[in-house]
Amino acid sequence: MANLKEAVEAGLSALQNLCKDDKDVPFGANPNQWKLYAKNEANSAIEIMKSALESYNTNEVDNPEIALAYLEGKEIEYQDNYSKKWRSYHFDGVTHPMLGHPKYHWRVKPDVNKIVKYKRYLVKYVDDLNEVSGYSIQTLTENDIDVTFIENMLSFVRWIDTEWQEVEV
């Protein structure tokens, strides 16, 4: 359990297991051990909930939507004042992110969908005797070198795609 959402789900599941009759205990399990396990799971979930809620009651949170996203289990990222790179925050099991700390900037990790345009083309391989020894399909992305450079290569045979293709990555 790494976040409040998972803790609540585990806690509810454990509480449901505590309330079950012995007939709902899995086959081969000792009913008393089963209920003790469920009780421990519930207590563990409650501790995580307390820890998360206390953390956000003691910190001033500039962006409550980030705190809510974190508590819901969404991935959040941080950036310190010295770095331009965003890093994913991973719960270490003890401390929660310092959302109110002036050293850090926080955000919900954005979706990283990007459209890449490409064209495929056929090239030939020539051996030492200047005979064709094989073929290969190569890919040119829109941001690579110019199309005319490819067409002027001695190994260029033809375009497989006459129009730019798009793929979401």
Domains of the chain by residue range: 1-58, 60-110, 115-168
Which helix or strand (DSSP H or E) is residue 140 part of? strand 132-141
Q: Report pTM.
A: 0.38
Residue type, 7: A
What Rg value do the Cα atoms of the chain yield, rounded?
A: 28
Of 79-88, 120-129, 135-144, which range is least confident?
Answer: 79-88
DSSP H stretches of helix in the chain: 4-19, 31-58, 64-71, 147-151
Contact 155, 125 (CB under 8 A): yes
Supply angle C-alpha 111, 115, 116, rounded to 5.
Answer: 135
Cα 31 from chain centroid? 39
Average pLDDT taken over every residue of the chain: 77
Cα gap 57→11, rounded to integer Å = 21
Residue 157 has pLDDT above 90, yes or no: yes
> pLDDT digits over 35-49, tens only?
777 777 777 776 766
Residue 67 has pLDDT above 70, yes or no: yes
